[in-house]
Amino acid sequence: MATKGVGMANKGPTFGMSRQVQDKIDSKYDSDLEQILVEWISRQCGSGVGRPEAGKLGFQAWLKDGCVLSELVNSLFAGEKPVKKIQSSPMAFKQMEQISQFLNAAEKYGVTKTDMFQTVDLWEGKDLAAVQRTLSALGSLAVTKDEGTYNGDPNWFFKKAQENKREFSDEQIKAGKNVIGLQMGSNKGASQEGMSYGRPRQIL
């Protein structure tokens, strides 16, 4: 009789340096952030997505097939939805494909590549802190864009800095070229008086 577990892709135990590296990655996972993300995703997508068991493994199992993530990113787009087909599947490659569609849609929404997790980070549970980073970046973008699609407390995520272009006239630019900034230093009151560098050279 076969037992069904969470399944971590036939990954055996890690030892030595690999173990230390994995422990360090695991220590970056934030349980408080998990609660915020679960609350946000539940509000954003509605009760249809359910809620995970508390803890890292529950969080991973909830998001692992990519369907909840795809529902989330689709809910942030007012017009045409970027993930066309959201279908749960027991097959590994289909789940990974669904996660990949979420990542492409998140990038389309504006999440930078440096904030993105890799598919294996979620699917194999290699780096769930990276998954949290991506979801936080997505939440921050939704709050910053303020397009009316965000459902949640705006204080859950940081508002991203936005461009603040300034226009200067030609006269202002010319005037600015004549100003020496204080970080360049100042030579006011500078002299070599009182400076000595040891005994003068003796010429015999």
For residue 127, give both structure tokens: 């780096």
Q: Tens of pLDDT along 143-160? A: 888 777 877 777 777 666
For residue 124, give both structure tokens: 């194999």
- What is the rounded distance in angstroms from the CA atom of residue 25 to the CA atom of residue 107? 24
User: For residue 48, what pLDDT band results from cuts at 50, 70 and 90?
Assistant: confident
Would the pLDDT of 4 be above 60?
A: no
Backbone angles phi, psi at 26, to 5 degrees: -65, -30
What is the pLDDT averaged over residues 111-121?
89
- Label residues 8-38 b or e (16+ Cβ within 10 Å = b): eeeeeeeeeeeeeeeeeeeeebeeeebebbb
| Contact by Cβ (8 Å): 167, 68 | no
Alpha helices in 64-190 (DSSP H): 67-75, 92-109, 119-123, 128-145, 170-177
User: For residue 5, what pLDDT band results from cuts at 50, 70 and 90?
Assistant: very low
